[in-house]
Amino acid sequence: MENIYTVKEVSKMLKTSIKRIYTLIESGELKAIKIGIYKITETELQRFLNQ
């Protein structure tokens, strides 16, 4: 099963602000699924980091 991260978890992993993660999601640079709150899959996070 694939890991799914919250915006807060991703911001800690990338050592950036929560606001920056939301900006990336809103711009379409980082894809997220909204299930009440935004969730980012491990596959999507790896795609983003490798671009």
Whether the Cβ atoms of residue 9 and residue 16 lie closer than 8 Å to each other: no
Residue 35 dihedral angles phi and psi, to the nearest 5°? -120, 75
State yes or no: pLDDT of 4 exceeds 90. yes
Q: Which domain holds residue 38?
A: 4-50
Q: Give the model's pLDDT for residue 31.
A: 97
What are the pLDDT digits (tens) for 31-40? 999 999 999 9
CB neighbour list of residue 19: distance below 8 Å, 6 or more residues apart = none
Give the Cβ contact number of residue 12 at 10 Å.
13
Q: What is the pLDDT of residues 15-33, one digit of tens each?
A: 999 999 999 999 999 999 9
pTM score: 0.89
How many C-beta atoms surround the C-beta of residue 50 within 10 A? 6
What is the predicted pLDDT for the residue at 1?
85
Total domain count, the chain: 1
Read off the pLDDT of each residue in 6-18 and give the average, rounded to a whole number.
Answer: 98
